[in-house]
Amino acid sequence: MKKLIYSLIICLMIVTGRLSAQEGKFEYLFNDFQKSLIYYKDGRVFGVKVNYNLARNAFMFIDENDNNNIKLFAEPDMVRILKIDNRIFQLDSKGLAQEVLNQEPYLVVTYRGKSRPQGKQVGYGGRSETAAVDSYSSLQSRGHSYNLETEKIILADIEKRYTIKKNKKQKQFQSSKQFLKLYPAEQEEAIKRYIKNNKINFDEPQQVLQLVKYAETL
């Protein structure tokens, strides 16, 4: 009996270890906070280090004048564009990060993290999603929003939604099936062949950009 219980505990520890390694993704778009220029609609320009938090779908910056505290932008609706190295970002109507991959042909990718509360640890490594957890709040002060992290959030998935322009109208897609519907039937086989031969991964924006460039030449 003792051997059976011991074996069960060992099995549970192995399963829990695997789940811990698999659940959740890196919660930021970049590996580190990046130097950037933030252009506001009223003409203001700020140089700060930023990163996009996918678990909370919001840009955050390091305030070097306040002990390097990580903060949220107090006026995200006033941000026009963010220049991060040679990449250009903007915010959509919901505050999600949109990266402008190309102007002609036009291609934008919108990043949206899908997250859930981590929950409270229960017996043998399980988690209770209904267990009480603290919240992630913010404090407004002097035009800035201070992040007060108290709740652990797991990033479950990252959605990339692409936008192109067809006949002066914006069209969106996330998969090869959706992409093919945007082009005439007579071009379908050529596009399918390109996707297959080049192993296009729709989770890789640069690969999708090359696909769009090819499709627009047909």
Q: How confident is the model at residue 114 (pLDDT cuts 50, 70, 90)?
A: confident
β-sheet bridge partners, residue 117: 153
Query: What pLDDT shows up at residue 119?
Result: 58
Q: How confident is the model at residue 118 (pLDDT cuts 50, 70, 90)?
A: low
**pLDDT over threshold 50, residue 129:** no
Nearest to 30 by CA among 211, 158, 137, 147: 158
**pLDDT over threshold 80, residue 62:** yes
| Tokens, residue 104 | 């002609």
With a pLDDT cut of 90, the percent of the chain lying above it is 56
DSSP state of 28: B
β-sheet bridge partners, residue 116: 154
β-sheet bridge partners, residue 170: 165
Nearest to 159 by CA among 207, 93, 210, 205: 205
Average pLDDT over residues 90-109: 95
DSSP state of 104: T
Say whether the peptide bond before residue 205 is cis (omega within 30 degrees of 0): no
Alpha helix stretches (DSSP H) within 63-187: 176-180
The DSSP secondary structure of 127-139, one letter per residue, reads: EETTS-----EEE
**pLDDT over threshold 80, residue 3:** no
